[in-house]
Amino acid sequence: DQQVKQNSPSLSVQEGRISILNCDYTNSMFDYFLWYKKYPAEGPTFLISISSIKDKNEDGRFTVFLNKSAKHLSLHIVPSQPGDSAVYFCAQEGGQGAQKLVFGQGTRLTINP
C-alpha cells in the first residue's frame, strides 16, 4: 500500500528563520516527489520536485532533500517570509509516470512576524 505521511499538522516559524517540513513514504517503487503549496479557497500550486537520481534540489529559497534509505524527504524554506504561510502538501507519483499523485495530509505553516 502506497502511503505518504506528513506527521506534523502544523508548524510555526519566525520570519527570517528556516522552515523545515517533513514527509515520509512507504513505497520505494515510485521515485518522483513533489511539494505543493495551498492557500485557503485556492487550488494547490506546484513548488518544487525531486527524483531519486538526486538527493537535493534547490530553487531560490526552497530546497528539497531526499533520503532514500530513510524513505524521507523534507522541504526547507529559508529565509521564511509571511507570504509562505500556507498548507504544504508532499506528494509521490503513484504509477504511470507522475500522472497520479499520492498526497500527504498536509502541514499548515505559519510565519510569525
Partner 1 sequence: NAGVMQNPRHLVRRRGQEARLRCSPMKGHSHVYWYRQLPEEGLKFMVYLQKENIIDESGMPKERFSAEFPKEGPSILRIQQVVRGDSAAYFCASSPLGEGGYTFGSGTRLTVV
49 binds partner 1 (CB under 8 A): yes
41 binds partner 1 (CB under 8 A): yes
The gap from C-alpha 98 to its chain's centroid, in whole angstroms, comes to 15
Spatial contact of 85 and 1, defined as CB atoms under 8 Å apart: no
99 binds partner 1 (CB under 8 A): yes
* Helix and strand totals (H; E) in the chain: 0, 11
CB of 23 to partner 1, least distance (A): 11
98 binds partner 1 (CB under 8 A): yes
- From residue 83, alpha-carbon distances to 43, 49, 55, 72, 87 in Å are 16, 20, 27, 26, 11
| Position among 4, 70, 75, 110 found at the interface with partner 1 (CB under 8 A) | 4
Binding footprint of partner 1 on the chain (CB under 8 A): 4, 6, 32, 34, 36, 41-46, 49, 89, 93-94, 96-106
